[in-house]
Amino acid sequence: MSDTQARETSASGYDIAPLAPEERDRLAGQLSAEERDVLLNHGTERPFCGTLLNNKQSGVYACRLCGLPLFRSEEKFESGTGWPSFTRGYDPEHIREISDRKYGMVRTEIRCARCDSHLGHVFPDGPAPTFQRYCLNSVAMEFFASEADIPRH
């Protein structure tokens, strides 16, 4: 495998090459107003309102815009914050972390590695063994009951 191929495919076998602007725009055209606000404008859905907050099904949570797998249901936990929370990502290469200094706070924003969509934030106050709390917007994700159903863009 060449260096280019290694950089564009994650360890879990998914294409993580950045989307072309035209493809991102095409996919964004299919989003609702709330999804656009969160994913593209770095908004936040209201707490305790997200459709995936109380989802207890087994499966995989993927990026709403591009379908890249982000989290497994086994890593989901009830944080009491009002947003779906996870202890670790599906694959570390699928999530980018960026320093966020808005609103007088220092936080770590998380974005999809393939399409650069805003997903939420990660905090160092989660349960063992990772002690991480990936706090996600439900509208930033799509749930798939089977890994086989996840689109491979």
Q: Which residues are catalytic?
A: 135
Please list, in sequence order, all residues whose beta carbon lies within 8 angstroms of the beta carbon of residue 2, skipping any fewer than 6 positions away: none
Can you tell me which residue has the tokens 């890249």?
Answer: 68
Q: Which residues pair with 121 in a beta bridge?
A: 109, 135
Cα–Cα nearest to 93, from 1, 15, 5, 40: 15
Q: How far apart are CA 71 and CA 150, in angstroms?
A: 12
Strand, helix or coil for residue 50: coil
